[in-house]
Amino acid sequence: MESVTKKESIQQNDAERWASIIGGGAMVLSGLRQGSLRGALMALAGGTAIYHGVAQQNSIQDALNQTLKVEKTVTINRPVEELYRFWHNFENLPTFMKHLQSVKVIDAKRSHWVAKAPLDNQVEWDADIIKEEENHLIAWASVEGADIDNSGFVRFQPAPAGRGTEVKVVIEYNMPGGTVGAAIAKLFGEEPEQQVGDDLRRFKQLMEAGEIATTEGQPSGRE
């Protein structure tokens, strides 16, 4: 009995921390390293028991060893509504997220994701939207049986004085252990922060300039 109570109280703390992160603009990296995003999102959504793995993630040490967490923010010179609408259709994401091969929307909540893995492999999972606030927040998490257990949220809020919209993304991946885990980790590059940063930069290019700047396919003296 005692241990259960303890678990609940940890979860409660995580949820409070994440509630403040999602709502406010606190510097969250240290928070990210301590808590479980999924646990916090679940608690926020009120559906704690539905998804697997929540209980285990209350062990802070386990989470530290296995999870990869990234947060990144970009300001985009477009209105909140436009960005929210584009992102909310997950099928748009592979246009600027390089490691994604495809996303298929199944219904209002569920979608099927396929990511490119090293050596021509691919990894797949189903994800559910677990929380959405129109023109503000979309949070998602993979469902049981995912090749990579992952969750995250994207938050949109107006930037001051007509500077557009601040778009913040927080993603957490739980890596399977061992060599498979190492191979999958490669998928996210040596610097996952950079990869998410590049994805967001491409999102900004697409939304502001209507196209993604590229030099792929141009001539050089290397051919």
Partner 1 sequence: MKAVCWHGATDVRVETVPDPTILNPRDAILKVTLTTICGSDLHIYDGYIPSMLPGDIIGHEFMGEVVEVGSEVKKLKKGDRVVVSSVIGCGQCAYCSRQKWSMCDNSNPKAGLQEKVFGFGSAAIFGYSHLFGGYAGSFAEYIRIPFADHGAIKVPDGIPDEKILPLSDAFPTGYMGAEFCNIQPGDTVAVWGCGPVGLFAMRSAYMLGAERVIAIDRFPERLRLAQEFGRAEVINYEEVDAGEALKEMTGGRGPDSCLDAVGLEAHGMGLEGFYDKAKQAVRLETDRPPVLRQMMVACRKGGTLSIMGVYGGFVDKMPMGAAFNKGLTFRMGQMFGQKYIPQLIERVANGEIDPSLVFSHHLPLDETKRGFELFKHKKENCTKVALKP
Please list every residue from 64 through 93 that binds partner 1, using CB under 8 A: 75, 77
Using the rule CB under 8 A, is 34 a contact of partner 1? no
Name the minimum Å distance from CB 129 to partner 1: 29
Of the candidate residues 33, 85, 104, 163, the single one contacting partner 1 (CB under 8 A): 163
Nearest distance from C-beta of residue 95 to partner 1, angstroms: 13
- Using a 10 angstrom Cβ sphere, with 0-12 exposed, 13-18 middle and 19 or more buried, the burial of residue 141 is buried
Identity at 205, one-letter amino acid code: Q
Please, which of residues 183-202 interact with partner 1 by CB under 8 A?
A: 194, 197-198, 201
The residue among 164, 174, 181 whose CA lies nearest residue 141 is 174
Closest CB to partner 1 among residues 76, 103: 76
Burial degree of 76 (CB within 10 A; 0-12, 13-18, 19+): buried
Map the footprint of partner 1 across residues 93-132, applying CB under 8 A. Answer: none
Mention every residue, 6+ apart, whose C-beta is less than 8 A from residue 175. 66, 67, 68, 148, 181, 184, 185
Torsion of CA 75, 78, 80, 85, to 10 degrees: -110
Spell out a b/e string for 14-36, using b for 16 or more CB atoms within 10 Å of the CB, else e: bbebbeebbeeeeebeebbeebb
Residue 216 binds partner 1, judged by CB under 8 A: yes
* Least distance from partner 1 to the Cβ atom of residue 159, Å: 9
119 or 222, CB closer to partner 1? Answer: 222
Which region, judged by CB under 8 A, interacts with partner 1, from 7-15, 121-129, 175-183, 214-222? 214-222
Question: Quick check: 223 binds partner 1 (CB under 8 A)?
Answer: yes
Closest distance of CB 165 from partner 1, Å: 12
C-beta of residue 133 within 8 angstroms of C-beta of residue 119: no
Q: Does 157 bind partner 1 (CB under 8 A)?
A: no
Q: Does 24 bind partner 1 (CB under 8 A)?
A: no
Q: Does 209 bind partner 1 (CB under 8 A)?
A: yes
Chain positions contacting partner 1, by CB under 8 A = 75, 77, 163-164, 194, 197-198, 201, 204-205, 208-223
